[in-house]
Amino acid sequence: MEIAQGVQFVVFIILSVLMISTALGVVLLDNIVDSAFLLGGVFMSISGLYLLLNADFVAAAQILIYVGAINVLILFAIMLVNKTEVFKTVKGRVLRQVSTALVCGGLFALLSTMVLATPWQLSDVSPAVIDNTILTIGQHFFSDFLLPFEVVSVLLLMAMVGAIILARRDLIPESQQTEVYTTSLTLPEKPRDLISTSNDQ
């Protein structure tokens, strides 16, 4: 094994451990803000795996779009909604957790079997050498994959509109409506009875 291959293998192990641990944190943590931040760690780990595959444009797009746009949009939606709900015990919670664990374990076993059964030996001779990945991806985006590209943009627009609608606060509680806020630039008015007595004297 060459030195470059050894470094790639070590980096792959580190990125895989980071991705799995942050993904488990997204699912298992109770605080939704912490889960959103750990989701950004998952996206960063995936972009590192793209770099190992020499997919530089996909790695940069992963960071710019998923971390810089989608993850930030999720954080804004969480912080703007700010809904406080009373915690209530759910009936059959243990049964739901056990069924969820069984489904997740079955999916993990299925994916592990697929990974172990797939022949990963690649040919040394590449069928096509791409000099400029950005130019090739752009050509595919605006020719072969134009419809999925536009559908994804519409879905992102719908997510942004949904976050704005959820963040609107049309109903204000009465306790907040009765509060009066005064600034330092406004002076309190004098009572009329005091003004009238002073004028009479």
Residues 113-139: pLDDT tens digits? 998 998 877 666 555 556 677 788 788
The rounded distance, in Å, linking the Cα atoms of 60 and 63 is 5
Question: What spatial distance separates the first Cα and last Cα of the chain, rounded to whole Å?
Answer: 105
Percent of the chain with pLDDT over 70: 73
Q: CB burial class (10 A; 0-12, 13-18, 19+) of residue 148?
A: exposed
Instruction: For the chain, give the mean pLDDT.
Output: 78
**Contact partners, residue 114, CB within 8 Å, separation at least 6:** none
What are the residue boundaries of the structural domains of the chain, listed by start? 1-84, 92-118
By the 8 A CB rule, do 166 and 81 touch? yes
How far apart, in Å, are the Cα atoms of 139 and each of 29, 53, 108, 147, 149?
42, 21, 36, 13, 12
1-84 topology per CATH: Four Helix Bundle (Hemerythrin (Met), subunit A) (1.20.120)
The pTM of the full predicted model, rounded to 2 decimals, is 0.57
Contact assessment for residue 26 and residue 35, using Cβ atoms and an 8 Å cutoff: yes
